[in-house]
C-alpha cells in the first residue's frame, strides 16, 4: 500500500510521434520526462496519462520550440504576447476526450497561463476538463 511507481516516458528516445497529457492526481504513478530540447531537463508529474491527438498542433509546437527557439529550451522565458498567442493556439489545436463513463466528448486543451514560466519544449502546463495537467511530447534532443 502506498508504493509510488515511476514511469519514464520514451527512455531511449526512439518512440517519436507521441503526444500525451498527464492530468495531475494522487495516483501513486509518477511520469518522468526529459524535456527542454538540448538542455535535457528532467521533469516528473504524478497523475494519469491520457493520449491526445493533434498532428497540426504538434507541428506548430515543433516549429515554435525547435525552429524558433532552436531546441535549446525556454527556462523562465517571458513569453511576449505574439509567442504566447502561438503557443495558446497550438495547445488549443489538441483534442482531449473526456468521459463520464457513458459518453465521451472532445474538448480543446487550454494553456495554463498561471504556470507560463514552467513552459518548455515537451513540457507545457495545460488545463483539461479533468483538471490541471502537463502536455508532453517527444523531446527534440
Q: What is the mean pLDDT of residues 114-123?
A: 95
The residue extents of the domains of the chain are 31-137
Question: Is the separation of the CB atoms in 109 and 21 below 8 Å?
Answer: yes
> What would the grid cell of residue 50 be?
491520457
pLDDT at site 50 = 96
pLDDT, tens digit (0-9, with 9 covering 90-100), for 8-66 = 998 777 777 789 999 999 999 999 999 998 888 999 999 999 999 999 999 999 999 99
- Which cell numbers in the block locate residue 49? 496519462
Statement: the pTM of the whole predicted model exceeds 0.85: yes
Amino acid at each position: 500500500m502506498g508504493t509510488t511507481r515511476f514511469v519514464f516516458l520514451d527512455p531511449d528516445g526512439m518512440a517519436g510521434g507521441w503526444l500525451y497529457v498527464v492530468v495531475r492526481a494522487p495516483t501513486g504513478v509518477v511520469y518522468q520526462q526529459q524535456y527542454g530540447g538540448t538542455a535535457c531537463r528532467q521533469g516528473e508529474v504524478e497523475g494519469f496519462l491520457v493520449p491526445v491527438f493533434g498532428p497540426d498542433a504538434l507541428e506548430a509546437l515543433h516549429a515554435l520550440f525547435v525552429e524558433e527557439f532552436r531546441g535549446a529550451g525556454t527556462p523562465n522565458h517571458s513569453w511576449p504576447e505574439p509567442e504566447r498567442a502561438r503557443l495558446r493556439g497550438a495547445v488549443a489545436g489538441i483534442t482531449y476526450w473526456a468521459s463520464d463513463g457513458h459518453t465521451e466528448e472532445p474538448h480543446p486543451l487550454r494553456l495554463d497561463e498561471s504556470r507560463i514560466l514552467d513552459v518548455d519544449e515537451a513540457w507545457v502546463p495545460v488545463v483539461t476538463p479533468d483538471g490541471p495537467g502537463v502536455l508532453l511530447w517527444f523531446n527534440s534532443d
